[in-house]
Amino acid sequence: MSSPARHGGLDGGRIPLTGPRAGAAMPLSVAERTTMLSHPLQWRSRYQQRFASPQTVVVQPTTWCNLDCRYCYLPFRKLKHQMTEEAADALAQQVAQFEDIDHPIGIVWHGGEPLAVGQQKFAALLAPFEALRREGRIHHYVQTNATSLTDTWCDLLAAYDVRVGVSIDGPAAVNSARVDLRGKPAFDRTLRGIKHLREHGIPFSVISVVGTDGITMPEELLEFLATLECHSVGFNIEEIEGANTGRQTPTPVQAEEFWRRTLAWTREHGGTFTVREVERLAEYLQLIRTGQKAEWDQRRLDPIPTISWKGDVVLLSPELADTQAPEYGNFVAGNILDQPLTEILRGAYRLCYVRDFLTGLDRCQAECEFFDFCRGAQASNRYFENGSLTTTETNYCRASRQALVTALSTLATKETTA
């Protein structure tokens, strides 16, 4: 499953990266941070400095998926557990209690394969949120492999104004890891689903997992995606996480070349669609150029509460759901059938794994020149790659954040010296 939820001339051809700022105090050491934050109220203060109220709530309507993608991180994708309507109703009531929210909350239905529950069940899960949707307080999103999409599915998605993301990795040869439970390619079925979306006028985005095949052919990948008529694309460089532990993944050197060529293509084909990662970097640079960098610096992280099919709540990364990690209580922060989500979020700073992540973020800020743009590695990558959330750099950092920045810097340097 693909997890949802990122030009121009530069001074001297380089992108400004942070070390300690002139005139600013040197960052505290990790030991100093730990000592300083030994009291619960200090942990709460630190959490509030790093994290905002949720912008996104990820919801798992089912563990099951009708595909068996070779890089999937989900350990229980062959089990047919489904969320109950009781859990969906409880979640809708609790989202309604969110305060001080000045934007619609994204309710992201993310599997398994969300549409595998069937139209009747999916409609029943959406129904408790309908008053919130009509009031403009939430938007629905679904990340799907599109193989189940039909005219009637499109009618249902349109009725609830569900924003659609499709998982497809590129042309057939590059999409070969996406197979069904019998090992048969899903490519043609996904294209058929996309055709239904277009015929019904439903806009959609794409998430593509870039593995060792696609990493060497960005132009072919981008040209193919342009034919789909999606409005945006996000590239997830394949990672080692969850159940995906044995495959070779792209190197940072390959990733930098991929991003350099992607940047060149997007500049030449501007307006075709947006690339999530390029847009995020462009926004960062635009704020710097216009003297608004403080706005970027003031942005806080989304705790991304993820609600499992049985109501368990996992924070920080959807990929941590269903992970067996006794040292972190399997990352479960609570259950919405026993405790309101707002209360669970208020107590997030008490969780061992959240505290470890805060320590890791402090270390990133103190040690990494890319932190100003990156804002810290994903929690799941720290755990699956390094075994601890207190660690810093991961291959995700190197391939998806650092390589993007250095690619733009290299491209700008070549242009200024040409």
pLDDT of residue 102: 82
pLDDT of residue 23: 30
Specify the 3-state DSSP secondary structure of 150: coil
Angle, CA 378 vertex, CA 377 and CA 384 arms, to 5°? 105
First to last CA, the chain: 42
Q: Which residue has the tokens 């000592």?
A: 35
Instruction: Please give the structure tokens belonging to residue 181.
Output: 């439970």
Q: Are 345 and 305 a contacting pair, CB within 8 Å?
A: yes
pLDDT of residue 143: 97
Residue 370 CA, chain-centre distance (Å), reads: 19
Say what the alpha-carbon torsion angle 96, 59, 114, 381 is, to the nearest 10 degrees.
150
Residue 20 CA, chain-centre distance (Å), reads: 28
Residue 195 makes CB contacts below 8 A (sequence gap 6+) with none
Write out the DSSP string of 339-396.
S-HHHHHHTGGGSHHHHHHHHHHHHHHHH-TTHHHH-S--HHHIIIIIS-TT----HH
pLDDT of residue 25: 32
pLDDT of residue 10: 23
* Alpha carbons 72 and 59: distance in angstroms, whole number: 18
Nearest to 7 by CA among 267, 218, 222, 235: 267
* Exposed/middle/buried for residue 134 (C-beta within 10 Å: 0-12, 13-18, 19+): exposed
Instruction: Please give the structure tokens belonging to residue 30.
Output: 């990790």
Q: How many CA atoms lie within 13 A of 183 on its CB side?
A: 0
Per-residue pLDDT of the chain (418 residues; tens, 9 = 90+): 555 553 232 222 222 222 322 232 333 444 444 444 567 889 999 999 999 999 999 999 999 999 999 999 888 888 899 999 999 999 999 999 998 778 899 999 998 999 999 999 999 999 999 999 999 999 999 999 999 999 999 999 999 999 999 999 999 999 999 999 999 999 999 999 999 999 999 999 999 999 999 999 999 999 999 999 999 999 999 988 877 778 889 999 999 999 999 999 999 998 889 999 999 999 999 999 999 999 999 999 999 999 999 999 999 999 999 898 988 999 999 999 999 999 999 999 999 999 999 999 999 999 999 999 999 878 999 999 999 999 999 999 999 999 999 999 988 776 666 5
pLDDT of residue 226: 97
Identify any residues that bridge with 56 across adjacent strands, giving them in sequence order.
106
Identify any residues that bridge with 233 across adjacent strands, giving them in sequence order.
206, 275
Specify the 3-state DSSP secondary structure of 333: strand
Write out the DSSP string of 15-65.
----SSPTTSPPPPPHHHHHHHT-SHHHHHHHHHHHB-S-SEEEE-SBS--
Nearest to 160 by CA among 186, 193, 122, 189: 122
* Alpha carbons 291 and 278: distance in angstroms, whole number: 20
Write out the DSSP string of 109-134.
E-SS-GGGG-HHHHHHHHGGGHHHHH
pLDDT of residue 358: 97
pTM of the model: 0.89
pLDDT of residue 412: 78
Residue 414 makes CB contacts below 8 A (sequence gap 6+) with none
Instruction: Count other C-beta atoms under 10 Å from residue 159's C-beta.
Output: 11
pLDDT of residue 415: 64
